[in-house]
Structure 1
Amino acid sequence: MNKRQNKNRAQAAPANLQAGMTVTMTVARQTEIGYFLHEGEDEVFLHRSEAEGPLRIGEEADVFLYHDHENRLAATMQMPYVSWGEYGWLEVVDVSPRLGVFLDNGIKKHLLLFVDDLPKMRQEWPRTGDRLLVTLKRDKQGRLLAKPASEEEISRIAVPADSDMHNKWVEGTVYKVIQEGAFLFTDDEHVLFVHRDEMTEPLRLGQSVRCRVIYVRADGRLNGSMQARKEVRYAEDADKLLHYLIDRGGAMPYTDDTPADIIREKFAMSKSAFKRALGKLMKEQKVEQDEGWTRLIRK
């Protein structure tokens, strides 16, 4: 048998055991660096660093099975946050443009969410510190991967919202991004959709977002907005212009006739929002426009 065949034999998984299983195994023998555990004819290695204290020959241990960095089936006494058949929120700890994102599942080896299960647009990928709702799956080699929660699973665990949720602010996490907007799963386990027109910034998978409920659907799902109510936004925009004028000594070369691209560049607001804010200030007799300039009215 050549070296390549020896390597393949060493990495072959036991016939009845698979990554992702939580099993009770017996210590068959020990070495300087760990223990060999067996269940029937199957045997798996448990490194001392993965054991919770010293073990004796014949002692039983509850272990979680995974593939180590040399692609061998191994055991750990550390229990994962998400086990086989379960769903849970896991934190992103690293991002690889080639492979995908790595998640902390409570054991030393991080769980990979493969690139094929992520949005095609890189700006919609999660970042370090974001959280994803996932379960476990195996690739063709039997190695563990993360699998995003399906729409069916979200529907199964979601709670219908009551009509009194209208205009309330909620916290949620993005679990799906589509061309029209993004779906969130709120802290109260409601499903909420944010249309792109209601966003204050582009959203990404796993991002935590604060939204205002603008509509409660008959099926208990929510539509939301990241923007404040119109009257609040008008007041905030007007206050922004007022402070800008004060900082400039009471005058600025921008009026209702200023092009929209300049308005957006200077004030990060649309031309219509700018005109509404100026109109509010003029109605309150705080500013006036004259020959291409807007000036504070000194009282």
Structure 2
Amino acid sequence: MYKQKKQVRTYKQPSQLDSGMTLLMTVSRKTDIGYFLQSGKDEVFLHKNEAHGPLDVDEEVEVFLYHDHENRLAATMDLPYVAMGEYGWLEVVDLSSRMGVFLDNGINKHLLVFIDDLPKLRDEWPRPGDRLLVTLKKDKQGRLLAQPVTEQEVLQFSVQADAGMKNKNVEATVYKVIAAGAFLLTEDEHVMFIHRDEMTERMRLGQTVRCRVSFVREDGRLNGSMRERKEVQYGEDAEKLLRYLNNRDGAMPYTDKTDADVIQEKFQMSKFSFKRALGKLMKERRVEQVDGWTKVIKQE
């Protein structure tokens, strides 16, 4: 998980307790269900379920402050994966069509990415199990929310790629979706852009894919593709047409004159790719076109 390097914490006494703080507090008193913790004149409650074992009065503990499900400021000894001022990859655990998506941040209460911070198209929303690169913010009531990182934040830790990356296969995760395509971050923290024409499926925020580096830019960023290299795809498309022909007794009513929409529907490939694959098979004398049909040439 990519994350800012943490500073050594000195734990200065805050003037006022607030959600998102990680600090040392002292057990001031016990109850049947938990502990009251004190910092200066301020107190906050730590439920027994949020403590790492029994605590004694005057014991000092490290806690994280958040608003619980009843919107009360509370403490937990479970420290978050991502704290205020940090960024990191968090897993999507639930969706709400009305509110947004919820992330696991290492404490019992999940973090919400509000609907306004997600793509407008619902099929570009992340799914449970996907990972989002986020930082934290607060709403008007002081409650913690997650928001996807900005381009400026990605530039703080991304690494420039060298020319030797071209044509390498990498795993990358989508951190931003735009009309023209998607921005991803590779395992080695290289920024990659995949244009929609280079996708084999519509990509969503938080999705991790296996893709190919098609170009290394001068600024060290990458262009990527989910498609095979042309020479590889060329042969795969030709084999796909042969399999289709063989399943139809060696003949099909489609040729290089067939409409592009029909080709896309039948073979999930462009008219250009279809003609190129068909041309390869005809050049190799494996098929021929006769009276609007494409037929396999029987080998003697």
TM-score under structure 1 normalisation?
0.92
Residue 224 of structure 1 corresponds to which residue in structure 2?
Answer: 224
Task: List aligned pairs for 1:120-199, cutoff 5 A.
Answer: 120-199=120-199
* 1:1-299 equivalence runs, <5 A: 16-299=16-299
**Offset at 1:98?**
1.2
Q: In the alignment, which residue of structure 2 is the partner of 1:3?
A: none
Q: For 2:269, what is the secondary structure of its paired residue?
A: coil
Cα shift at 1:206: 0.8
Distance 1:74 1:217 in 2: 48
> How many angstroms apart in 1 are the aligned matches of 2:27 and 2:178?
50
One-letter identity of the residue aligned with 1:135: T
Once the two structures are superposed, residues 61-99 of structure 1 have per-residue CA deviations (whole angstroms, 9 ceiling, x without a partner) of 111111000000001111111112111100111111111
CA distance in 1, matches of 2:191, 2:51: 41
Read off the aligned partner of 2:214 and give its amino acid letter. Answer: I
Gaps of 5+ in 1: 1-13
Q: Which runs of 4+ in 1 moved over 4 A?
A: none
Q: How far apart are residue 209 of structure 1 and its match?
A: 1.9
* 3-state DSSP of counterpart to 2:183: strand
Query: What secondary structure does 2:78 align onto?
Result: coil
1:210 CA displacement? 2.0
Q: Kindly provide the amino acid, as one letter, of the partner of residue 265 in structure 2.
A: E
Distance 1:15 1:244 in 2: 73
**Further displaced range: 99-108 or 245-254:** 245-254
Q: Cα offset for 1:25?
A: 1.0
Q: CA deviation at 1:52?
A: 0.6
Deviations 1:158-200 (A, max 9, x none): 1011011111112111111111111111111011111111111
Aligned-pair CA distance for 1:258? 1.9
| Paired AA for residue 45 in structure 1 | F
More deviation, 103-112/53-62 = 53-62
Displacement of 1:274 in angstroms is 1.0
Query: Equivalents in 1 of 2:154, 2:22: separation in Å?
Result: 25
Residues in 1 aligned to 2:126 and 2:82: alpha-carbon distance in whole angstroms: 19
Point out where structure 2 has 5 or more consecutive residues left out of the alignment.
1-13
2:192 counterpart letter in structure 1: L
Per the TM alignment, residue 254 of structure 1 is displaced from its structure 2 partner at its CA by 1.5
| Amino acid paired to 2:262 | I
Question: C-alpha displacement at 1:107, in angstroms?
Answer: 0.5
Residue range with higher mean Cα deviation, 145-154 or 253-262: 253-262
1:188 partner amino acid: D
- Aligned residue pairs total 286
Q: SS where residue 234 of structure 1 aligns?
A: helix
CA-atom RMSD in angstroms: 1.3
Alpha-carbon distance, 1:15 to partner: 6.6
Q: Which amino acid in 1 is paired with 2:176?
A: K
TM-score of the superposed pair, with normalisation by structure 2: 0.92
Moved more, 142-151 or 208-217: 208-217
Report deviation, 1:288: 1.4
Identity %: 70
SS of 1:137 mapped into structure 2: strand
In the alignment, the residues of structure 1 paired with residue 36 and residue 169 of structure 2 have an alpha-carbon distance, to the nearest angstrom, of 54
Report the counterpart of residue 11 of structure 2 in structure 1: none
Amino acid of the structure 2 residue aligned with 1:189: E
Q: 1:147 Cα shift?
A: 2.1
AA matched with 1:148: P
